[in-house]
């Protein structure tokens, strides 16, 4: 697939979106079976989502198919684990954890691989933006301290 670039800033978009609470706050709901998500914007240059997380809910290891992105926690706290991507082999899991609390923004580049979870006692709410819009996401399985690609999801087919 050809590499797509966007001049749109996911960080700038999220900052503006967060200030417009009346647009996304009424859409907040929690699902006891899995994290809840809702697309808020879908344009070729940018895509935005609202996600809610009950304690213990999270994502699998994944990337964003070459899109850069950011997430902003607006309620609660999220924990991010991430992997270093190398040219000479599979992504390697870093031991560090990042806690992204309410009001904190976490930007990332187009080669970012991570796993995000709500490890706190309270529900969490976050806004996510990707530029350009997501066309694919790749899922990974843990193989020792490395990650192994196990599945590719495509926009319009998987979500």
Residue 4: the pLDDT is 57
| CA-closest candidate to residue 78, choices 95, 61, 103 | 103
Residue 8: the pLDDT is 72
- What percent of the chain shows pLDDT beyond 90? 89
State the pLDDT confidence band at 156, using cuts at 50, 70 and 90: confident
Q: Over range 46-67, report the average pLDDT.
A: 97
Whether the model clears a pTM of 0.95, i.e. scores above it, the answer is: no
Q: What are 153's strand-pairing partners? A: 137
61-62 and 68-75 as β-strands: parallel, antiparallel, unpaired?
unpaired
The 10s digit of each residue's pLDDT in 89-107 is 999 999 999 999 999 999 9
State the pLDDT confidence band at 158, using cuts at 50, 70 and 90: confident
The answer to whether 124 and 50 have CB atoms below 8 angstroms apart is no
């Amino acid at each position: 697939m050809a590499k797509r670039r966007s001049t749109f800033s996911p960080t700038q978009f999220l900052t503006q979106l967060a200030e417009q609470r009346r647009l996304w706050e009424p859409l907040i709901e929690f699902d006891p079976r899995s994290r809840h998500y809702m697309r808020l914007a879908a344009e070729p240059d940018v895509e935005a989502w609202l996600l809610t997380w009950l304690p213990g809910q999270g994502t699998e290891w994944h990337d964003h198919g070459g899109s850069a992105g950011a997430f902003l926690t607006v309620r609660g706290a999220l924990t991010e684990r991430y992997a270093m991507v190398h040219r000479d082999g599979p992504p390697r899991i870093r031991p560090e954890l990042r806690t992204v609390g309410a009001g904190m923004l976490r930007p990332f580049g187009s080669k970012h691989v991570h796993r995000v979870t709500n490890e706190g006692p309270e529900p969490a709410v976050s806004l996510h933006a990707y530029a350009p819009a997501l066309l694919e996401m790749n899922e990974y399985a843990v193989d020792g301290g490395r990650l192994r690609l196990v599945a590719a999801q495509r926009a319009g087919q998987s979500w």
